[in-house]
Amino acid sequence: MSATVSLDDSARAFLAGLGIAEPGEELVWLEALTHGSHGSARDYQRLEFLGDRVLGLAVAEWLFEAGDQPEGKLSQRLNALVSRSMCAEIARSIGLAAHIRLGKQAREDGGTDSDNILGDVMEALLGALFVTHGFPACRALVRRIWADAVAGQVGTAKHPKSALQEWAAGNRRKGPEYRLVERSGPDHAARFTVAVSIHGVGEMEATGSSKQEAEKEAARLFMERFG
């Protein structure tokens, strides 16, 4: 990425709206907003790796402080609150999509509405914030933009796959079997269709932006219909 490249006015305004009026090292922020399809020398992947851990710590600390729930409940909520789909939802809520640097084909393929890309860039932004401003700034931002999710019911219900597994055991059935029906679309906007079945009961299919999301939705639909 050339040292002459800098944040545009729109990106600066976006960061200022998040409370980052002085972003600091601009190349770090450009890297966080850059998808591999853009053709730049560096993209968001390393910062995503860092931001994923920063987000996990910020949310884990928050949940620990919030009450005296047992470890299992804390883990259940943490996993839901830091999931790719939740990160993508938060990214949409703050208008992140408009500032992601994508290649022409990736943009035409719907990359700006891909849960995979939105979730990854959301984490990369937190990684960039950690690098430029430290953990306290990351904590403050997470607690602001994740506030509704933490205050709501996200992660309080049992994961659909766990619920289905327990339902099958409780009804003396073999455990659910998941199979990949189809994978479609380019890598940056892939779609996965998965079927879940329980012998002697039935089968349901669902589609998601990852195999895990498709399995989760298929389990939820199965419970909705047969549970």
| Catalytic positions, written as ranges | 52, 123
Contact predicate 157/164, CB 8 Å: no
Half-sphere exposure of 6 (CA within 13 A, CB side): 6
Q: What Å distances lie between residue 139 and 88, 118, 149, 170, 178, CA to CA?
A: 18, 20, 15, 41, 37
Contact predicate 37/105, CB 8 Å: yes
Contact predicate 92/122, CB 8 Å: no
